[in-house]
């Protein structure tokens, strides 16, 4: 019998899948079929009473990757609806951190949401103009949803729960911004869910190295993948960079040169827009810095 299932954990040559009725089964992979990722929709078959195998991986909407030690893409999950970029007053984000994350999320064809965690610390924080937190209103004007959360006090996580409802999401951000704390607030039964998944496999799941899909109380799913993007992103090329700056979109194709890098070329529509102010100068400067680092 063939059944469709959702992959909640995947490692090596096996994983745990969830059936439509919510039950969970341990599944083996076959080399000919390939290795599913967390978030994959698959077809499973049970050739015997004791074993279930993945016989097909259904087409993916997207593949979410992190950089390996050599800055190459390494896929950790599939079929995400959104990526939440977590920032906080402490640790202070570096100047181009948010732009880097936004470009990477856009390159996956996924919508980024910006989350300012530890929001209660904003009042006592000195935000310098170079700090991305000085630009939260600019991000809102660019069309990004910007939420403020706190795991400690008001405003809490209510707004975040609404954004996560009925969608498959992942939290990214540098170490210390509160990703684990948020996950623990959002998933009160996190330990129970991890335990249940471990029991299905018959061995423990290494929560430190494996991507796990958790169920949210209010509906929706949250992927926990330790350290995703904490250690940097893969190398991005120039077209990928330019596409990640959403306000450049109407300008692309209007430069003198088709392969314009929007740097020092003559008659560049993007640079002109930055000079007249229709593109924020700080965003254009950020683009130029990322461009330099991508070379
Ligand atoms: N003041 C404050 N501290 C927080 C908040 N959220 C997390 N923290 C603290 O920030 C530190 C890092 O949190 P953690 O969840 O481990 O961050 P992660 O590295 O992104 O997973 C911990 O000491 C948390 O208690 C918050 O909303 N406000
Ligand atoms: Mg953590
Ligand atoms: Zn240009």
pLDDT tens-digit series, residues 140-184: 999 999 999 999 999 999 999 999 999 999 999 998 999 999 999
- Give every CB contact of residue 208 below 8 A, 6+ residues apart in sequence: 226
Helix/strand/coil (H/E/C) assignment for every residue in 108-168: CCCEEEEEECCHHHCCCCCCCCCCHHHHHHHHHHCCCCEEECCCCCCCCCHHHHHHHCCCE
- List, in sequence order, the alpha helices (H) in the chain: 97-107, 136-141, 158-164, 179-186, 190-201, 238-244, 269-276, 281-294
Produce one character per residue of 67-84: b if its CB has 16 or more CB atoms within 10 Å, e if not. beeeeeeeebbbbbbbbb
223-274 confidence digits (pLDDT tens):
987 677 776 777 788 999 999 999 999 999 999 999 999 999 999 999 999 9
- Looking at the predicted structure, is the pLDDT value of residue 210 above 90? no
CB atoms near residue 141 (< 10 Å)? 11
Q: Output the pLDDT for position 274.
A: 98
- Looking at the predicted structure, is the pLDDT value of residue 41 above 80? yes
Mean residue pLDDT across the chain = 92
State the distance from the centre of ligand 2 to the C-alpha of 238, rounded, in angstroms: 31
- Looking at the predicted structure, is the pLDDT value of residue 205 above 80? no
In whole angstroms, what is the distance from residue 51 CA to residue 40 CA? 20
Confidence of residue 91 (pLDDT cuts 50, 70, 90): very high
Ligand nearest to the CA of 207: 2
Report which DSSP code applies to 267: S
51-88 confidence digits (pLDDT tens):
999 999 999 999 998 887 777 788 889 999 999 999 99
CB atoms near residue 244 (< 10 Å)? 21
- Looking at the predicted structure, is the pLDDT value of residue 105 above 90? yes
State the distance from the centre of ligand 3 to the C-alpha of 290, rounded, in angstroms: 15
- Looking at the predicted structure, is the pLDDT value of residue 215 above 70? yes
Atom 1, ligand 1: which residue's CA is nearest? 118
Which atom of ligand 1 lies at the shortest distance from residue 174's CA? 20
More confident residue, 193 or 67: 193
Domains parsed from the chain with CATH numbers: 2-57 (2.40.50.140), 63-224 (3.40.50.300), 238-294 (1.10.40.50)
Confidence of residue 1 (pLDDT cuts 50, 70, 90): confident
In whole angstroms, what is the distance from residue 88 CA to residue 91 CA? 6
Which atom of ligand 1 lies at the shortest distance from residue 86's CA? 20
In 3-state terms, what secondary structure has residue 271?
helix
State the distance from the centre of ligand 2 to the C-alpha of 284, rounded, in angstroms: 32
Q: Which of 115, 69, 80 is nearest to 213 (CA)?
A: 80
Strands, E assignment, 20-70: 24-28, 41-48, 51-57, 63-67
Confidence of residue 208 (pLDDT cuts 50, 70, 90): low
Q: Output the pLDDT for position 228.
A: 75
- Global pTM value: 0.93
8 A C-beta contact, residue 200 and residue 16: yes
Name the token pair of 201: 């496999």
């Amino acid at each position: 019998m063939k059944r469709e299932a959702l992959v909640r954990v995947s490692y090596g040559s096996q994983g745990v899948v969830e059936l439509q009725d919510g039950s969970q089964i341990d599944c083996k992979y076959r080399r000919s079929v390939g290795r599913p990722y967390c978030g994959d929709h698959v077809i499973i078959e049970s050739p015997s009473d004791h074993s279930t195998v993945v016989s097909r991986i259904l087409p993916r909407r997207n593949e979410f990757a992190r950089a390996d030690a050599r800055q190459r893409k390494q896929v950790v999950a599939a079929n995400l609806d959104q990526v939440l970029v977590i920032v906080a007053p402490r640790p202070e984000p570096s100047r181009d951190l948010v732009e880097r994350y936004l470009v990477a999320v856009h390159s996956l064809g996924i919508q980024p949401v910006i989350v300012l965690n530890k929001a209660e610390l904003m009042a006592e924080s000195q935000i310098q103009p170079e700090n991305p937190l000085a630009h939260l209103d600019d991000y809102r004007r660019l069309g990004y949803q910007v939420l403020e959360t706190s795991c400690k006090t008001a405003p809490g996580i209510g707004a975040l729960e609404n954004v996560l409802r009925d969608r498959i999401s992942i939290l990214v951000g540098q170490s210390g911004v509160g990703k684990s704390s948020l996950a623990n607030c959002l998933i009160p039964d996190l330990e129970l869910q991890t335990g249940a998944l471990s029991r299905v496999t018959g061995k423990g799941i290494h929560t430190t190295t494996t991507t796990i899909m958790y169920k949210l109380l209010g509906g929706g799913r949250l992927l926990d993948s330790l350290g995703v993007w904490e250690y940097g992103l893969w190398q991005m090329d120039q077209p990928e960079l330019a596409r990640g700056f959403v306000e450049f979109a109407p300008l692309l194709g209007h430069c003198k040169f088709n392969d314009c890098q929007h740097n020092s070329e003559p008659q560049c529509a993007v640079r002109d827009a930055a000079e007249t102010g229709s593109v924020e100068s700080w965003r254009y400067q950020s683009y130029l810095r990322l461009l330099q680092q991508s070379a």
